[in-house]
Structure 1
């Protein structure tokens, strides 16, 4: 399957953590689902999510969030170039902190996936990055909006200032979730200590 191939290629150094994440999403998200991209960045995750939820009945919904307007502009530009007008109608982009997730996502939305790609905007100002405190608040909010059978997907970056601390706090958050309700998995290259880490938190 696509997921098996992605995992094997990750193990052999041919695929990145983000690519494994996308392969996992395909096995979780269904057509018509609501999903959240909590860190839009340049829009590649947002685009992948639109393609997963879009159906002929236009029921899917992607809520994209980023603190930087520049990131949302990049995301919007990528979507304009890559998907149909009907698919574009399924996307809501919000210039906000991901800790405000519950104010953005309607309370009756059945959210199947919340995706985080932590760190700074590629090609942007490296001083502007996700912060541990707001990331933890966003993860707590994600717990509440997620339906059973849903997934919180986090790609964490360790190389930049504050990145390892943020990763360790996210890992701690996952490690403390109740074993009866949550299954938490980590993909990490042990001999590449600065490589991105994928955490999957399944409800």
Structure 2
């Protein structure tokens, strides 16, 4: 059976992330991925959860409090500033990362992820990712600005050295309204 994109994204991370690791939610949104990652890394792990919107941070905080999770660090900041929250001891030790690109559902649709900040974050995380670690991008591109981000990501990731990374695209091609798809980057 084919999986929906979020289920596939989570499966990739389940196969990569180990308890006790540090992982990254590049766009915490409503907190669902932060909660998922929190459960994967367990009480000895840590989730760095980024979002530029106060509403997203508050939504995530509320969800995590309801689930009694305290291994998530909420950061109201653009994910392109991730290097400020990592240290050299973590190089090649980050277990994985996830991004839901686009806009926060139910919020201002003018506030969207941008290709330059997403690519910058991916580059930093890639240098800190453990061998076998995965960065998952769920690309929602059916909004103004989304097509540009999609094209720039595909162009950028298509140039990754295949000796260092595997990059895969997964998504449905027969659905209407610009269906989201997954881009996954695995460090060799």
Q: 1:24 offset after TM fit, Å?
A: 1.5
Aligned to 1:172: 155
Pick from 75, 81, 85 the counterpart of residue 100 of structure 1.
81
Query: Any gaps of 5 or more consecutive residues in structure 1?
Result: 1-7, 11-15
Pick from 129, 141, 156 the counterpart of residue 146 of structure 1.
129
2: CA distance between counterparts of 1:149 and 1:141?
16
Q: 1:143 offset after TM fit, Å?
A: 1.3
Aligned to 1:67: 52
SS in 1 for 2:106: coil
SS in 2 for 1:9: coil
Question: Is the contact made by 1:102 and 1:145 (CA closer than 8 Å) also made in structure 2?
Answer: no
SS in 2 for 1:52: helix
Question: Is the contact made by 2:19 and 2:45 (CA closer than 8 Å) also made in structure 1?
Answer: yes
Pick from 28, 41, 46 the counterpart of residue 16 of structure 2.
28
**C-alpha root-mean-square deviation of aligned residues, in Å?**
1.2
2: CA distance between counterparts of 1:76 and 1:199?
27
Q: 1:191 offset after TM fit, Å?
A: 2.1
Pick from 167, 170, 177 the counterpart of residue 184 of structure 1.
167
SS in 2 for 1:150: strand
Query: Any gaps of 5 or more consecutive residues in structure 2?
Result: none
User: TM (normalized to structure 1)?
Assistant: 0.87
User: TM (normalized to structure 2)?
Assistant: 0.93
SS in 1 for 2:138: strand
